[in-house]
Amino acid sequence: MSTAPHVVVVGAGALGGWTALWLVRAGARVTLVDAYGPGNSRSSSGGETRVIRQAYADPFHADLAGRALELWRAEESSFSRPVLERRGALFLVQEPRRAFAAAARANFAARGVAHEDLAPREVERRHPWISAHDVEDAFFEPGAGVLHARRACREVAERVALEGGTVVLAAARLVDDGEAASHVELSNGDRVAADRFVLACGPWLPRLVPELAAFLTTSRQEVVFFAPPPGLAATLERSAPVWADLGAAFWYGIPGGEHRGFKGADDTRGAPVDPDGERRVVGDDTLARTAGYLARRFPPLAGSPVVETRVCQYTDTPDDDHLFDRHPRLANAFVLGGGCGHAFKSGPAIAEIAARAVLGDGVGPGRWRIDRTSSAV
């Protein structure tokens, strides 16, 4: 029998899938379990596209995003289909977010990340579909772009299986004796014993670990896709950058991607959600508010019909940073989550840190520990 530790990873999204892959490559025996499948529509890693960027005010997250981009580039060659699309990212900035822009530029300079400062008039010259009338500052990050999310989750899970891991489609319940976990009971009737366990199941994490219920909050996030006019559709689909509008609210989107339409969303946190029972239909108020914003910022798309909508969710910590730590009670189990709307892009790098800790001393960054904000737990 192999002496390699057996690790069960619960959750095949942005964090669990990559953690499982790094564990396999480090020599562990790995079982990756997901209730609905990698990139499924109930998960926070579902949907078609995500933005990847290195524009962060926090130096730690700038480093994390930079490492993740390196890993996405390196690993994509092993996938059966491309998952990274280099379009660049355009940031439109107004006074409430000027400090973010300054800090992001400082991090670019310190790390040698290419960027270009743009005057509002230059934004409109390059992109006539944008109205920058109220924009005070702008910059462009050419190395940023789009990740194909659902596709990437499936590709990572396929690599886990191809490289020696086991991928199981089933819900999991962790069984323990109060001090250590012994196995997971699966909804297909199987029991899987292991040496160590990683719970990386996004919005389901508080269900598996009730001690985290007051530490993690899961919010409803609504996304709308609009049909651009025929004369503009080809330009948006082929060469337009992803965008972020940093004002009193934080709007962001992707102009095109596999001809699904012009994606736009407000990053403001929505109401609490139940990931299993949530009715994933976007409300009329969101449709109206998003259409109104679109008409102001992107005038040629005014009146464009809605072609698709999506209800996703964010799982947040009190300080909007990630979570990696030992289970509050179980010495051989770990919790990994708190995506906070940023985990997909940085998933490979977050998981790299987590996998190393799971097979090592079990210690991750102090800023990701549960007790970093113990008063909030």
Alpha-carbon Rg for the chain, nearest whole angstrom, is 21
DSSP notation for 171-188: -EEEEE-SSSEEEEEETT
DSSP notation for 139-156: EEETT-EEEEHHHHHHHH
Q: Are 356 and 348 in contact (CB under 8 A)?
A: no
Angle between the N-to-C axes of helices 149-162 and 16-25, in degrees from 0 to 180, rounded to the nearest 10: 30
- pLDDT score recorded for residue 376: 38
What residues have CB less than 8 Å from 158, skipping those under 6 apart? 80
How do residues 292-302 score in pLDDT, each as one tens digit? 999 999 999 99
Q: Kind of pairing, strands 89-93 and 137-141?
A: antiparallel
Q: Are 219 and 274 in contact (CB under 8 A)?
A: no
| 3-state secondary structure at position 167 | strand
Cα distance between residue 117 and residue 223, in whole Å: 28
Q: Are 178 and 328 in contact (CB under 8 A)?
A: no
For the chain, residues with pLDDT lower than 70 are 1-2, 373-377
> Sign of dihedral through CA atoms 312, 243, 141, 368?
negative
- pLDDT score recorded for residue 375: 37
- pLDDT score recorded for residue 256: 86
- Please name which of 132, 128, 337 lies closest in space to residue 216, comparing C-alpha atoms: 337
